[in-house]
Amino acid sequence: MRSLTRYITILLIVGILIGLLFYDKSFILAIFSQVLVFSIAALGLNILTGLTGQVSIGNAAFMSIGAYASTIFVMKLGIPMPIAIILAGTMASIFGLIIGFPSLRMKGFYLAITTMAFGVVIEQLISVIPYLGAHDGIRNITKLSNNEFISYLYVFLVYTILIVVTKQIQESPIGFSWKMVRDGETSATCFGINTGKAKLSAFMFSAFYGGIAGALYAHTIGYIRAADFGLSRSLDLLAMIMIGGLGSLQGGLAGSIIIVGLRFFFSRGFGPWLSVIIGSLLIIFTLFFSRGITWGITINWHKRLQVPFISVMKYFRLRRTKMSGKMIDIKDSSIFYVEKGSGKAVVFVHGNTGSSRWWNLVMDLSDDKENSYRTIALDLPNFGRSKSIKSAEIDTYADYLVEFIDRLSLEKPVIVGHSLGAAVVMSLSARYPDLPSAIVLVDGPSPAGLVTPPEHYPVIELYKTSRELMKKSLAAIAPGLNNDKILNDLTDDALLMAPFAFTEHPKALERFNYIGKLKSYQGKVLIMWGKKDIIITEKMVDETLKQYNRAELVVFDDIGHSVMVEDPVLFKKSLLNFLRSI
């Protein structure tokens, strides 16, 4: 929701500024209005083709229905223009429902031919009906406003509203059913999706958007004829979403700028070369942006364009935060750590892409019963402010943790590990069973390891160059974390991790296997698990529970993968209860 709000805010600011910049240039504003009108139509086609996978070569027909319907409503029936535009969209959606029924029996090439035939039929019908102006069309249509700037703002407002509506629908059960149908009708049916209903709803939404676009076209141009919405226009719409990006919210706008905007730009001075120039540009975009312009821009944004910012952030963050803790040299690394309080030692070990900061909210373990604890949170090698090493193996991290405890002269500490840190603690408890007095595993993997699907690795690669993706990833695993400042701090710390470790840690967890090796540890074990955890399953938790002799489980109903940041009070309460029982 935050990303949508940010996108809409930027869109509104840019859109209004562009309008103000060309306030006194009516022709330029008219071009911008046309770009937005066809962006709306392309957005509708993207719902049908990009999200639902139904190819249509006749969507311009819905524009013609909307254009003529709104014109008749306003000029013949005297209906107010805003109501007329909505009614025009509704009428187009009814036709969308009608043409949608063949899609229940057809797909691919056959559906494309059917929709093309529908578009041709609508064009020819309008051309022979005198009431609709026949071949001559309808002139002097009532405009949105006599001021081109106001007309532009009206069209821009409608486009923005439909973007928001589309985003909400895309993330709703309806949008989910569309994408299921696109990816495989058989699979969708197996999951209980009514594929027929999904297709029909997609056709209706697509037609509604087309009808709205057609109505706006009529009331901005002031003149319509059947030929304006023929086969070539339908192909233009298809080209817009192919060039812009199938299934992308911004794809229609990007494609419209290329198809509509450049056509106006090159129309003066290039004459017969216009088609050649536009065709060449289409070939170039298709070759170098095979999945669309927006996809290419998005990938480059996540892969390259954020790198300078991340580099600067790392430099200043390391300089600023080293003073807040202590450093200790261990083997070929320097380990950063923070500590608080005095008494029995409790050592906190973070997870993958983590740091000592993940424990900031729970470092104060003062007990009402006058028990006191010395809490210590460290950055493992390769993480946070600690120096990187060449290995990313779980056992290696456990060895560093053992030496860290020894160098600080911590006697029989309680060791708390989160996620990957829990795997480190498992390794330590199996190979150094006499070292900890008790251990706590917070949303840790199974002793049998954790397998990351191969298709996830390209996305994981992007985490190290995209702060935005990293932040979204952390927000997903900690759904109860509502403090944006804390989330930003955790995100910045995550980007301090050694670049090679982003993909090596998942591989290390795949190799991790301590099944049958944990019985040697005789101390008490507390396992914490959140039911909303999207990484660790209940089966994994049960496997861990069975591998230890004296393990107990605490389950949190409304917590995800990271209880210590999602609900610090609940975490401290559970941990203190366990510490008192030792």
pLDDT(381) > 90: yes
pLDDT(321) > 60: no
- Residue burial 271-293, b: 16+ Cβ < 10 Å; e: rest: eeebeeebeeebeebeeebeebb
82 and 291 Cβ atoms separated by less than 8 Å: no
100 and 199 Cβ atoms separated by less than 8 Å: yes
Which of 441 and 323 is assigned the larger pLDDT?
Answer: 441
Residues with Cβ within 8 Å of residue 374, at least 6 apart in sequence? 339, 340, 341, 342, 343, 344, 345, 346
pLDDT tens-place string over residues 15-60: 999 999 999 899 899 999 999 999 999 999 999 999 999 989 999 9
Of the chain, the percentage scoring pLDDT greater than 70 comes to 95
What pLDDT is recorded for position 251?
A: 87
DSSP string for 457-517: HHHHHHHTT-HHHHHHHHHHH-TT---HHHHHHHHHHHTTS-TTHHHHHHHHHHH---TTT
Strands of the 373-379 sheet, one edge to the other: 326-330, 333-340, 373-379, 344-349, 414-418, 438-442, 524-530, 551-556
pLDDT tens-place string over residues 130-169: 999 888 899 999 999 999 999 999 999 999 999 999 999 9
- β-partners of residue 338 are 377
Residue 546's pLDDT band, with cuts at 50, 70 and 90, is very high
Q: How many CB atoms lie within 10 A of CB 189?
A: 14
pLDDT(350) > 80: yes
pLDDT(322) > 60: no
pLDDT tens-place string over residues 517-527: 999 999 999 99
> For the chain, what is the mean pLDDT?
91
For the packed helices 173-183 and 148-170, what is the interaxial angle rounded to 10 degrees?
Answer: 80
The pTM is what?
0.76
Number of continuous H segments (helices) and E segments (strands) in the chain: 24, 8
What pLDDT is recorded for position 562?
A: 97
CA gap 559, 563 in Å, rounded: 6
Which of 324 and 181 is assigned the larger pLDDT?
Answer: 181
CA gap 101, 76 in Å, rounded: 32
What pLDDT is recorded for position 259?
A: 86
What pLDDT is recorded for position 20?
A: 93
CA gap 475, 34 in Å, rounded: 39
454 and 461 Cβ atoms separated by less than 8 Å: no
CA gap 177, 90 in Å, rounded: 22
CA gap 284, 50 in Å, rounded: 21
pLDDT tens-place string over residues 548-561: 999 999 999 999 99
In the chain, ranges of CATH 3.40.50.1820 domains: 322-581
Q: How many CB atoms lie within 10 A of CB 456?
A: 11
Q: How many CB atoms lie within 10 A of CB 164?
A: 15
pLDDT tens-place string over residues 414-468: 999 999 999 999 999 999 999 999 999 999 999 999 999 999 999 999 999 999 8
CA gap 572, 255 in Å, rounded: 53
Q: What letter does residue 411 receive in the DSSP assignment?
A: -
What pLDDT is recorded for position 474?
A: 96
CA 353 to chain centre: 19
What's the mean pLDDT in 272-298? 75
What pLDDT is recorded for position 164?
A: 93
What's the mean pLDDT in 368-376? 81
CA gap 220, 86 in Å, rounded: 16
DSSP string for 531-582: TT-SSS-HHHHHHHHHHSSSEEEEEETT--S-HHHH-HHHHHHHHHHHHHH-
Which of 346 and 316 is assigned the larger pLDDT?
Answer: 346
Of the chain, the percentage scoring pLDDT greater than 90 comes to 69
What pLDDT is recorded for position 18?
A: 92
CA gap 66, 60 in Å, rounded: 10
Which of 296 and 537 is assigned the larger pLDDT?
Answer: 537
What pLDDT is recorded for position 258?
A: 86
pLDDT tens-place string over residues 383-418: 999 999 999 999 999 999 999 999 999 999 999 999
Phi-psi sector, 314: left (phi>0), alpha (psi -120 to 50), beta: alpha
Q: How many CB atoms lie within 10 A of CB 328?
A: 15
For the packed helices 231-244 and 60-75, what is the interaxial angle rounded to 10 degrees?
Answer: 120
CA gap 353, 467 in Å, rounded: 12
Which ranges of 381-456 does DSSP label H, i.e. alpha helix?
394-407, 420-431
405 and 435 Cβ atoms separated by less than 8 Å: yes
By C-alpha distance, which of 261, 206, 254, 235 is closest to 50? 206
Residues with Cβ within 8 Å of residue 105, at least 6 apart in sequence? none
CA 389 to chain centre: 32
CA gap 257, 114 in Å, rounded: 28
CA gap 7, 216 in Å, rounded: 24
**Maximum separation of any 2 CA atoms in the chain, in Å:** 96
**Tokens standing for residue 206:** 């697509």
**For residue 144, what is the enclosing H or E element?**
none
Q: For domain 322-581, which architecture applies?
A: 3-Layer(aba) Sandwich (3.40)
What pLDDT is recorded for position 7?
A: 76
What pLDDT is recorded for position 264?
A: 77
